[in-house]
Amino acid sequence: MGVATDMRDRRRAAKLVTEGPCDRGEEGENTHVSLFWRIFSLNAAGLVVAAALLLGPVTVSTPIRQAEALVVLVGLALLLVANALVLRVGLAPLKRLGRAMSTADLLRPGARADVAGPAEAAELITTYNTMLDRLEAERAAGAGRALSAQERERHRIARELHDEVGQTLTAVLLQLKRVADRAPEGLREEVAQAQEATRAGLDEIRFIARRLRPGVLEELGLASALRSLAGEFSAHGLTVRHHVPGGLPPLTEESELVLYRVAQEGLTNTARHAAAAHAEVRLQQIDGGVELLVRDNGRGLGEATEGAGIRGMRERALLIGAELTLAGAPGGGTDVRLRVGGRR
């Protein structure tokens, strides 16, 4: 359905450009002057003036005199300059539309081309803006369905890791303990190593399950979940400070999950790519909304292209109508800001 509508919009825009003004009574009056009539009126005015001059004071002799040739050449130059000005003014909106189309990004919604210029150009820009509105809405809806399915799959995998793999490793750990109690002195060290490896694997399974399904978010809320997240990354070599005060405005479950996932992805990117020693997670109320800040002291954004992690954060922000910005941090590093609600 969306594809068919886009095709109709494109055919309609192409028809407006190629055929000039059509019957516009059904859509009401339009204050824009058609590009066709602009060029036609200028050419007609030039031809009328030229005919009047030729019928009046200006004549052409045979052979052509120098003064007569000069008058004709000056008139031709003026006509060409006037045509060039009209075309430049008339086509300027189409150039702006081309720049807007080349820089459009569905992950950064809101930017629209200004509706201006002749009737055909204004109608074409309006059609493009309408199509962009629909594409952004469809992209947000599709991203919402995909992210919901992703969260359900995360929950399923986390449950299986916890219930199946986790319980199996716990049973193995208990069996190893019984073996260690009965093993001869020469084998106890090897059994102890097997116990430590199994215990480390069990801890890793639990860590992965917590990342896939943040149970603390569901049970204790966003503030506790962010503090726990900072503690998890601090335990794995990255010093993370957190500032999550109480008294924040209430948020929907969907908004809390997006804030948590963006903080999680921001810290993951910091740990993997930023070569940072310190990071900060801050959640605060601002302008009637809530802003999440994830800051690190790493190498910064540089010229690197946005990867799947950042695109995922942008899609999550679109899901709840939030604003995501990435910029350099004071003194070096990266700031990831997500603003939910409030004035922007």
173 lies in some domain = no
- Residues 314-331 have pLDDT tens digits of 888 887 888 888 888 887
Residues 18 and 114 in one domain: yes
**Parallel/antiparallel/unpaired status of strands 289-296 and 278-286:** antiparallel
The alpha carbon dihedral of 296, 300, 304, 305 has a sign of: positive
Q: How far apart are CA 79 and CA 243, in angstroms?
A: 69
Average pLDDT score over residue span 168-184:
84
In angstroms, the CA 167 to CA 159 distance is 11
Structurally, the chain folds into a number of domains equal to 2
> What does the pLDDT average to over 16-30?
41
Structure confidence at residue 21 as a pLDDT band (50, 70, 90): very low
CB 210 within 8 A of CB 202: no
| Final residue before a domain boundary, out of 143, 171, 190 | 143
Is pLDDT larger for residue 52 or for residue 239?
239
Indicate whether 200 belongs to any domain.
Answer: no
Q: Is the residue at 206 inside a domain?
A: no
Domain boundary residue, one of 108, 123, 143: 143
Max mean pLDDT among 18-27, 71-80, 302-311 falls in 71-80
Task: Say what the pLDDT of residue 59 is.
Answer: 64
pTM assigned to the model? 0.57
Q: Is the pLDDT of residue 269 over 50?
A: yes
Q: Do 226 and 334 fall into the same domain?
A: yes
Mean pLDDT across the stretch 44-63? 69
> Average model confidence (pLDDT) for the chain?
77
pLDDT at 141 over 50: yes
CATH number at residue 306: 3.30.565.10
pLDDT for 204 equals 84
* 341 and 233 assigned to the same domain: yes
Q: What is the pLDDT of residue 85?
A: 80
Mean of pLDDT values over 200-214: 80
CA distance 182 to 193: 16
Containing structural domain, residue 24: 2-143
Range among 99-113, 141-155, 318-332 rated most confident: 318-332
Residue 281's closest CA among 332, 206, 231, 220?
231
Per the domain annotation, does 159 fall within a domain? no
Q: Is residue 184 one of the residues assigned to a domain?
A: no
Query: Which of 143, 159, 183 marks a domain boundary?
Result: 143
Distance CA 287, CA 263 (A): 20
Higher-pLDDT residue of 263, 329: 263
Does some domain include residue 161? Answer: no
